[in-house]
Structure 1
Amino acid sequence: MNQSMTPYHHGDLRNCAIIAAAEIIESIGSYDITIAQVAKRVGVSAPALYRHFTDKDALLTAVRELTHLGIMDYITRAQADIEQGTLAHLDALGSAYLRYATDKKAFFGLMWEDHGDTESRRAEARAKRTGFQVLHEAIELYLKRHKPESAGDSLKTATLMWSTAHGIATLQHNRMLDTFDEDADADTLLRTATRAILRSKD
Protein backbone atom coordinates (compact mmCIF):
# COMPACT_ATOMS: atom_id res chain seq x y z
CA MET A 1 0.00 0.00 0.00
CA ASN A 2 1.18 3.52 -0.63
CA GLN A 3 1.86 6.21 1.93
CA SER A 4 -0.94 8.55 0.84
CA MET A 5 -3.31 9.95 3.41
CA THR A 6 -6.25 7.77 4.44
CA PRO A 7 -9.41 9.85 3.88
CA TYR A 8 -11.08 10.75 7.16
CA HIS A 9 -14.84 11.17 7.19
CA HIS A 10 -16.38 12.98 10.13
CA GLY A 11 -17.70 10.56 12.74
CA ASP A 12 -15.64 7.66 11.46
CA LEU A 13 -12.25 8.48 12.94
CA ARG A 14 -11.85 5.20 14.80
CA ASN A 15 -12.29 3.04 11.70
CA CYS A 16 -10.13 5.36 9.61
CA ALA A 17 -7.36 5.09 12.19
CA ILE A 18 -7.54 1.29 12.20
CA ILE A 19 -7.29 1.17 8.41
CA ALA A 20 -4.48 3.73 8.40
CA ALA A 21 -2.54 1.73 11.00
CA ALA A 22 -2.97 -1.44 8.93
CA GLU A 23 -1.74 0.38 5.83
CA ILE A 24 1.35 1.65 7.62
CA ILE A 25 2.09 -1.80 9.06
CA GLU A 26 1.83 -3.39 5.63
CA SER A 27 3.92 -0.71 3.93
CA ILE A 28 6.81 -0.85 6.41
CA GLY A 29 6.55 -4.57 7.16
CA SER A 30 6.46 -4.02 10.91
CA TYR A 31 3.89 -3.27 13.60
CA ASP A 32 6.34 -0.99 15.41
CA ILE A 33 4.28 2.10 14.71
CA THR A 34 3.23 5.15 16.73
CA ILE A 35 -0.04 6.92 17.36
CA ALA A 36 1.56 10.04 15.86
CA GLN A 37 2.27 8.23 12.58
CA VAL A 38 -1.31 7.06 12.33
CA ALA A 39 -2.69 10.50 13.21
CA LYS A 40 -0.54 12.11 10.53
CA ARG A 41 -1.74 9.64 7.92
CA VAL A 42 -5.38 10.26 8.81
CA GLY A 43 -4.85 14.02 9.01
CA VAL A 44 -5.75 14.65 12.64
CA SER A 45 -3.84 15.37 15.83
CA ALA A 46 -2.54 12.56 18.03
CA PRO A 47 -4.76 13.68 20.95
CA ALA A 48 -7.78 13.16 18.69
CA LEU A 49 -6.87 9.47 18.35
CA TYR A 50 -6.37 9.08 22.08
CA ARG A 51 -10.09 9.74 22.45
CA HIS A 52 -10.64 6.41 20.69
CA PHE A 53 -7.59 4.39 21.76
CA THR A 54 -6.04 4.57 25.22
CA ASP A 55 -2.60 3.71 23.82
CA LYS A 56 -0.82 2.06 20.90
CA ASP A 57 -1.61 -1.44 22.18
CA ALA A 58 -5.32 -0.65 22.09
CA LEU A 59 -4.95 0.44 18.46
CA LEU A 60 -2.97 -2.69 17.58
CA THR A 61 -5.64 -4.83 19.23
CA ALA A 62 -8.19 -3.27 16.89
CA VAL A 63 -5.92 -3.84 13.90
CA ARG A 64 -5.50 -7.46 14.93
CA GLU A 65 -9.18 -7.98 14.14
CA LEU A 66 -8.30 -7.23 10.52
CA THR A 67 -5.60 -9.91 10.58
CA HIS A 68 -8.22 -12.54 11.40
CA LEU A 69 -10.35 -11.32 8.52
CA GLY A 70 -7.29 -11.45 6.29
CA ILE A 71 -6.39 -15.02 7.11
CA MET A 72 -10.02 -16.09 6.70
CA ASP A 73 -9.93 -14.55 3.22
CA TYR A 74 -6.84 -16.63 2.37
CA ILE A 75 -8.57 -19.76 3.67
CA THR A 76 -11.82 -19.06 1.83
CA ARG A 77 -10.03 -18.59 -1.48
CA ALA A 78 -7.80 -21.64 -0.94
CA GLN A 79 -10.68 -24.04 -0.39
CA ALA A 80 -13.09 -22.56 -2.93
CA ASP A 81 -12.73 -25.25 -5.60
CA ILE A 82 -11.63 -28.21 -3.49
CA GLU A 83 -13.85 -31.02 -2.27
CA GLN A 84 -14.14 -30.96 1.49
CA GLY A 85 -13.45 -34.07 3.50
CA THR A 86 -10.37 -34.84 1.41
CA LEU A 87 -6.64 -34.78 2.03
CA ALA A 88 -6.35 -32.13 -0.68
CA HIS A 89 -8.66 -29.91 1.37
CA LEU A 90 -6.48 -30.25 4.47
CA ASP A 91 -3.39 -29.51 2.38
CA ALA A 92 -5.06 -26.39 0.96
CA LEU A 93 -5.89 -25.07 4.42
CA GLY A 94 -2.33 -25.64 5.61
CA SER A 95 -0.85 -23.98 2.54
CA ALA A 96 -3.13 -20.97 3.02
CA TYR A 97 -1.88 -20.53 6.58
CA LEU A 98 1.76 -20.73 5.49
CA ARG A 99 1.13 -18.35 2.60
CA TYR A 100 -0.47 -15.77 4.89
CA ALA A 101 2.52 -15.97 7.24
CA THR A 102 4.82 -15.32 4.28
CA ASP A 103 2.78 -12.67 2.49
CA LYS A 104 1.72 -10.74 5.59
CA LYS A 105 4.72 -11.08 7.89
CA ALA A 106 3.93 -8.08 10.07
CA PHE A 107 0.28 -9.03 10.46
CA PHE A 108 1.19 -12.63 11.26
CA GLY A 109 3.52 -11.39 13.98
CA LEU A 110 0.89 -9.03 15.33
CA MET A 111 -1.69 -11.82 15.41
CA TRP A 112 0.34 -13.86 17.88
CA GLU A 113 2.32 -11.23 19.78
CA ASP A 114 1.46 -11.00 23.49
CA HIS A 115 0.22 -7.53 24.37
CA GLY A 116 -0.89 -8.47 27.87
CA ASP A 117 -4.40 -9.36 26.73
CA THR A 118 -4.07 -13.11 26.28
CA GLU A 119 -7.21 -14.03 28.20
CA SER A 120 -9.43 -11.63 26.28
CA ARG A 121 -7.95 -12.88 23.01
CA ARG A 122 -8.65 -16.49 23.99
CA ALA A 123 -12.25 -15.60 24.79
CA GLU A 124 -12.66 -13.76 21.49
CA ALA A 125 -11.18 -16.67 19.53
CA ARG A 126 -13.65 -19.09 21.10
CA ALA A 127 -16.58 -16.78 20.43
CA LYS A 128 -16.10 -16.30 16.69
CA ARG A 129 -15.33 -18.32 13.60
CA THR A 130 -11.58 -18.47 13.07
CA GLY A 131 -9.14 -20.43 10.95
CA PHE A 132 -8.92 -23.04 13.69
CA GLN A 133 -12.67 -23.65 13.58
CA VAL A 134 -12.44 -24.17 9.82
CA LEU A 135 -9.56 -26.62 10.30
CA HIS A 136 -11.41 -28.49 13.05
CA GLU A 137 -14.50 -28.88 10.88
CA ALA A 138 -12.39 -30.05 7.95
CA ILE A 139 -10.58 -32.66 10.04
CA GLU A 140 -13.81 -33.82 11.65
CA LEU A 141 -15.34 -34.39 8.20
CA TYR A 142 -12.19 -36.12 6.93
CA LEU A 143 -12.10 -38.50 9.88
CA LYS A 144 -15.81 -39.29 9.61
CA ARG A 145 -15.34 -40.21 5.96
CA HIS A 146 -12.03 -42.05 6.10
CA LYS A 147 -11.37 -43.04 9.72
CA PRO A 148 -14.76 -43.05 11.47
CA GLU A 149 -13.39 -44.85 14.51
CA SER A 150 -11.19 -41.80 15.19
CA ALA A 151 -13.80 -39.10 14.55
CA GLY A 152 -14.14 -38.51 18.28
CA ASP A 153 -10.52 -37.31 18.34
CA SER A 154 -11.10 -34.53 15.82
CA LEU A 155 -10.42 -31.70 18.28
CA LYS A 156 -7.14 -33.20 19.50
CA THR A 157 -6.13 -33.94 15.91
CA ALA A 158 -6.97 -30.38 14.84
CA THR A 159 -4.96 -28.97 17.74
CA LEU A 160 -1.98 -31.12 16.78
CA MET A 161 -2.17 -30.09 13.13
CA TRP A 162 -2.66 -26.42 13.98
CA SER A 163 0.29 -26.49 16.40
CA THR A 164 2.44 -28.13 13.74
CA ALA A 165 1.41 -25.65 11.05
CA HIS A 166 1.97 -22.73 13.39
CA GLY A 167 5.40 -23.99 14.38
CA ILE A 168 6.46 -24.33 10.75
CA ALA A 169 4.95 -20.94 9.87
CA THR A 170 6.68 -19.26 12.80
CA LEU A 171 10.08 -20.73 11.91
CA GLN A 172 9.52 -19.63 8.33
CA HIS A 173 8.38 -16.19 9.51
CA ASN A 174 11.57 -15.82 11.57
CA ARG A 175 13.73 -17.14 8.69
CA MET A 176 14.91 -20.07 10.82
CA LEU A 177 13.23 -22.98 9.03
CA ASP A 178 16.30 -23.93 6.99
CA THR A 179 18.81 -23.42 9.81
CA PHE A 180 19.79 -27.09 9.91
CA ASP A 181 18.35 -28.39 6.64
CA GLU A 182 19.02 -25.98 3.80
CA ASP A 183 16.49 -27.81 1.63
CA ALA A 184 13.66 -27.49 4.16
CA ASP A 185 10.43 -26.40 2.49
CA ALA A 186 7.48 -25.29 4.59
CA ASP A 187 4.74 -26.77 2.39
CA THR A 188 6.54 -30.10 2.04
CA LEU A 189 7.15 -30.33 5.77
CA LEU A 190 3.53 -29.58 6.59
CA ARG A 191 2.17 -32.07 4.07
CA THR A 192 4.51 -34.75 5.43
CA ALA A 193 3.47 -33.97 9.00
CA THR A 194 -0.22 -34.00 8.07
CA ARG A 195 0.07 -37.47 6.59
CA ALA A 196 2.01 -38.75 9.58
CA ILE A 197 -0.64 -37.40 11.97
CA LEU A 198 -3.44 -38.98 9.96
CA ARG A 199 -1.61 -42.32 9.74
CA SER A 200 -1.41 -42.34 13.52
CA LYS A 201 -5.21 -42.65 13.48
CA ASP A 202 -5.08 -46.04 11.73
Structure 2
Amino acid sequence: MDGNGRWARSRRLPVAVGHQQGAEAVQRCVQTAIKHGVKYLTLYAFSSENWRRSSEEIKDLTSLLRFYVRHKLNELHEQGVRLQVIGEPERFDNALYEELKRAEAKTHANTKLVLTLALSYGGRADIVQASRVLAQKIAQGALSPEDITEELLGAALQTSGTPDPDLVIRTSGECRLSNFLLWQSAYAEFVFMDVLWPDFGESEFLEALSYFAKRQRRFGGRPA
Protein backbone atom coordinates (compact mmCIF):
# COMPACT_ATOMS: atom_id res chain seq x y z
CA MET A 1 0.00 0.00 0.00
CA ASP A 2 2.23 2.74 -1.32
CA GLY A 3 1.94 6.47 -1.81
CA ASN A 4 0.62 7.95 1.45
CA GLY A 5 3.53 10.35 1.78
CA ARG A 6 3.46 11.45 -1.84
CA TRP A 7 -0.31 11.97 -1.63
CA ALA A 8 0.16 14.28 1.37
CA ARG A 9 3.14 16.19 -0.02
CA SER A 10 1.36 16.85 -3.32
CA ARG A 11 -1.34 18.60 -1.28
CA ARG A 12 1.13 20.33 1.04
CA LEU A 13 -0.24 18.38 3.99
CA PRO A 14 1.60 16.59 6.82
CA VAL A 15 2.56 13.01 6.01
CA ALA A 16 0.39 11.92 8.95
CA VAL A 17 -2.68 13.08 7.02
CA GLY A 18 -1.62 10.84 4.14
CA HIS A 19 -1.44 7.88 6.50
CA GLN A 20 -4.90 8.74 7.87
CA GLN A 21 -6.32 8.76 4.36
CA GLY A 22 -4.46 5.54 3.69
CA ALA A 23 -6.26 3.99 6.64
CA GLU A 24 -9.57 5.03 5.06
CA ALA A 25 -8.46 3.25 1.89
CA VAL A 26 -7.84 0.12 3.97
CA GLN A 27 -11.46 0.21 5.11
CA ARG A 28 -12.68 0.56 1.52
CA CYS A 29 -10.43 -2.31 0.48
CA VAL A 30 -11.74 -4.60 3.20
CA GLN A 31 -15.36 -3.74 2.40
CA THR A 32 -14.79 -4.40 -1.29
CA ALA A 33 -13.16 -7.75 -0.54
CA ILE A 34 -16.14 -8.79 1.57
CA LYS A 35 -18.65 -7.51 -1.00
CA HIS A 36 -17.08 -9.38 -3.90
CA GLY A 37 -16.24 -12.66 -2.20
CA VAL A 38 -12.49 -12.34 -1.73
CA LYS A 39 -11.63 -14.77 1.07
CA TYR A 40 -8.03 -13.78 1.86
CA LEU A 41 -6.59 -10.27 1.90
CA THR A 42 -3.05 -9.47 3.01
CA LEU A 43 -2.05 -5.84 3.55
CA TYR A 44 1.62 -4.83 3.69
CA ALA A 45 1.10 -2.25 6.42
CA PHE A 46 4.67 -1.85 7.72
CA SER A 47 7.78 -3.43 6.29
CA SER A 48 10.89 -4.38 8.23
CA GLU A 49 12.65 -1.61 6.29
CA ASN A 50 10.12 1.01 7.43
CA TRP A 51 11.95 1.21 10.77
CA ARG A 52 14.46 3.40 8.91
CA ARG A 53 11.87 6.16 8.67
CA SER A 54 11.83 9.12 11.02
CA SER A 55 10.79 8.48 14.62
CA GLU A 56 7.95 10.97 14.15
CA GLU A 57 6.50 9.09 11.18
CA ILE A 58 6.85 5.74 12.96
CA LYS A 59 5.03 7.22 15.96
CA ASP A 60 2.22 8.47 13.69
CA LEU A 61 1.88 5.07 12.03
CA THR A 62 1.88 3.27 15.37
CA SER A 63 -0.76 5.61 16.81
CA LEU A 64 -2.95 5.13 13.75
CA LEU A 65 -2.63 1.35 13.95
CA ARG A 66 -3.52 1.43 17.63
CA PHE A 67 -6.57 3.61 16.93
CA TYR A 68 -7.97 1.27 14.30
CA VAL A 69 -7.33 -1.88 16.32
CA ARG A 70 -9.22 -0.32 19.23
CA HIS A 71 -12.06 1.33 17.34
CA LYS A 72 -12.63 -0.85 14.28
CA LEU A 73 -12.15 -4.33 15.74
CA ASN A 74 -15.77 -4.80 16.79
CA GLU A 75 -16.94 -3.77 13.34
CA LEU A 76 -14.59 -6.26 11.69
CA HIS A 77 -15.67 -8.95 14.13
CA GLU A 78 -19.37 -8.36 13.41
CA GLN A 79 -18.64 -8.63 9.69
CA GLY A 80 -17.03 -12.04 10.17
CA VAL A 81 -13.46 -10.92 9.53
CA ARG A 82 -10.61 -12.90 11.05
CA LEU A 83 -7.58 -10.76 11.79
CA GLN A 84 -4.11 -12.25 11.85
CA VAL A 85 -0.67 -10.66 11.97
CA ILE A 86 2.60 -11.76 10.36
CA GLY A 87 6.04 -10.24 10.73
CA GLU A 88 7.56 -9.01 13.98
CA PRO A 89 4.74 -7.12 15.73
CA GLU A 90 6.64 -7.54 19.01
CA ARG A 91 8.98 -4.80 17.78
CA PHE A 92 6.21 -2.29 18.42
CA ASP A 93 5.48 -1.23 21.98
CA ASN A 94 4.22 -3.94 24.28
CA ALA A 95 0.75 -2.42 24.72
CA LEU A 96 0.08 -2.46 20.97
CA TYR A 97 1.50 -5.96 20.66
CA GLU A 98 -0.88 -7.21 23.34
CA GLU A 99 -3.82 -5.49 21.67
CA LEU A 100 -2.98 -7.19 18.39
CA LYS A 101 -2.83 -10.59 20.08
CA ARG A 102 -6.23 -9.97 21.69
CA ALA A 103 -7.66 -8.95 18.33
CA GLU A 104 -6.38 -12.17 16.77
CA ALA A 105 -7.88 -14.24 19.57
CA LYS A 106 -11.25 -12.48 19.43
CA THR A 107 -11.69 -12.96 15.67
CA HIS A 108 -10.06 -16.38 15.37
CA ALA A 109 -13.27 -18.28 14.53
CA ASN A 110 -14.51 -15.85 11.86
CA THR A 111 -14.65 -17.14 8.28
CA LYS A 112 -16.02 -14.38 6.04
CA LEU A 113 -12.59 -12.90 5.28
CA VAL A 114 -9.11 -13.63 6.57
CA LEU A 115 -7.41 -10.24 6.86
CA THR A 116 -3.65 -10.54 7.35
CA LEU A 117 -1.66 -7.51 8.44
CA ALA A 118 2.04 -7.69 7.59
CA LEU A 119 3.69 -5.63 10.34
CA SER A 120 7.45 -5.24 10.54
CA TYR A 121 7.42 -7.94 7.88
CA GLY A 122 10.11 -8.90 5.38
CA GLY A 123 9.91 -11.73 2.88
CA ARG A 124 13.58 -12.62 3.22
CA ALA A 125 13.35 -12.70 7.00
CA ASP A 126 10.31 -14.97 6.70
CA ILE A 127 12.32 -17.46 4.63
CA VAL A 128 15.26 -17.23 7.04
CA GLN A 129 13.11 -17.99 10.09
CA ALA A 130 11.49 -20.92 8.26
CA SER A 131 14.94 -22.26 7.41
CA ARG A 132 15.92 -22.01 11.08
CA VAL A 133 12.85 -24.02 12.09
CA LEU A 134 13.84 -26.81 9.70
CA ALA A 135 17.51 -26.60 10.72
CA GLN A 136 16.55 -27.01 14.36
CA LYS A 137 14.54 -30.13 13.53
CA ILE A 138 17.55 -31.53 11.68
CA ALA A 139 19.81 -30.76 14.66
CA GLN A 140 17.37 -32.59 16.94
CA GLY A 141 17.33 -35.61 14.63
CA ALA A 142 13.65 -35.16 13.84
CA LEU A 143 14.29 -34.39 10.17
CA SER A 144 16.85 -35.29 7.50
CA PRO A 145 18.06 -32.73 4.95
CA GLU A 146 16.84 -35.05 2.19
CA ASP A 147 13.31 -34.81 3.60
CA ILE A 148 13.04 -31.07 3.07
CA THR A 149 10.48 -30.21 0.40
CA GLU A 150 8.83 -27.03 -0.81
CA GLU A 151 5.77 -28.07 1.18
CA LEU A 152 7.77 -28.40 4.41
CA LEU A 153 9.43 -25.03 3.97
CA GLY A 154 6.11 -23.42 3.07
CA ALA A 155 4.55 -24.86 6.21
CA ALA A 156 7.31 -23.25 8.30
CA LEU A 157 6.61 -19.78 6.90
CA GLN A 158 4.51 -17.33 8.88
CA THR A 159 1.74 -17.62 6.29
CA SER A 160 1.31 -21.34 6.94
CA GLY A 161 -2.38 -22.20 6.65
CA THR A 162 -3.07 -19.32 4.28
CA PRO A 163 -3.14 -19.98 0.52
CA ASP A 164 -0.42 -18.40 -1.61
CA PRO A 165 -1.65 -15.14 -3.14
CA ASP A 166 -3.34 -15.31 -6.52
CA LEU A 167 -2.97 -11.58 -7.10
CA VAL A 168 -0.50 -8.97 -5.84
CA ILE A 169 -1.47 -5.30 -6.26
CA ARG A 170 1.14 -2.56 -5.95
CA THR A 171 0.00 1.06 -5.94
CA SER A 172 1.68 4.42 -6.65
CA GLY A 173 3.39 3.39 -9.88
CA GLU A 174 6.18 1.40 -8.23
CA CYS A 175 6.98 -1.87 -10.02
CA ARG A 176 8.69 -4.06 -7.45
CA LEU A 177 7.81 -6.45 -4.62
CA SER A 178 9.82 -4.61 -1.95
CA ASN A 179 10.44 -7.79 0.05
CA PHE A 180 6.76 -8.77 0.23
CA LEU A 181 5.76 -12.47 0.30
CA LEU A 182 8.74 -13.46 -1.85
CA TRP A 183 8.28 -17.23 -1.57
CA GLN A 184 4.50 -17.13 -1.58
CA SER A 185 4.21 -14.96 -4.71
CA ALA A 186 6.06 -17.34 -7.03
CA TYR A 187 2.98 -17.84 -9.24
CA ALA A 188 0.93 -14.78 -8.35
CA GLU A 189 -0.37 -12.40 -10.99
CA PHE A 190 0.86 -8.82 -10.57
CA VAL A 191 -0.97 -5.56 -11.07
CA PHE A 192 0.96 -2.28 -10.83
CA MET A 193 -1.27 0.77 -10.58
CA ASP A 194 -0.36 4.45 -10.80
CA VAL A 195 -2.96 5.43 -8.20
CA LEU A 196 -1.62 6.51 -4.81
CA TRP A 197 -2.88 4.34 -1.97
CA PRO A 198 -5.13 7.00 -0.32
CA ASP A 199 -7.05 7.21 -3.64
CA PHE A 200 -7.44 3.43 -3.93
CA GLY A 201 -11.09 2.44 -3.79
CA GLU A 202 -13.63 -0.08 -5.00
CA SER A 203 -13.26 0.84 -8.68
CA GLU A 204 -9.48 0.31 -8.57
CA PHE A 205 -9.87 -2.96 -6.69
CA LEU A 206 -12.42 -4.20 -9.24
CA GLU A 207 -10.14 -3.13 -12.09
CA ALA A 208 -7.41 -5.35 -10.64
CA LEU A 209 -9.82 -8.25 -10.13
CA SER A 210 -11.05 -7.86 -13.72
CA TYR A 211 -7.47 -8.07 -14.98
CA PHE A 212 -6.90 -11.18 -12.89
CA ALA A 213 -10.07 -12.83 -14.22
CA LYS A 214 -8.73 -12.53 -17.78
CA ARG A 215 -5.40 -14.18 -17.01
CA GLN A 216 -4.73 -17.76 -18.04
CA ARG A 217 -2.85 -19.31 -15.15
CA ARG A 218 -0.66 -22.23 -16.21
CA PHE A 219 1.71 -22.62 -13.25
CA GLY A 220 4.56 -23.53 -15.59
CA GLY A 221 2.52 -25.87 -17.76
CA ARG A 222 1.10 -25.42 -21.26
CA PRO A 223 -2.42 -24.08 -21.89
CA ALA A 224 -5.16 -26.68 -22.13
**If the length of structure 2 is used for normalisation, what is the TM-score?**
0.26
Relative contact order higher in (CA < 8 Å, ≥ 6 apart): 2
Flag the structure with higher strand content: 2
TM-score (norm 1): 0.28
Which structure is higher in helix share? 1
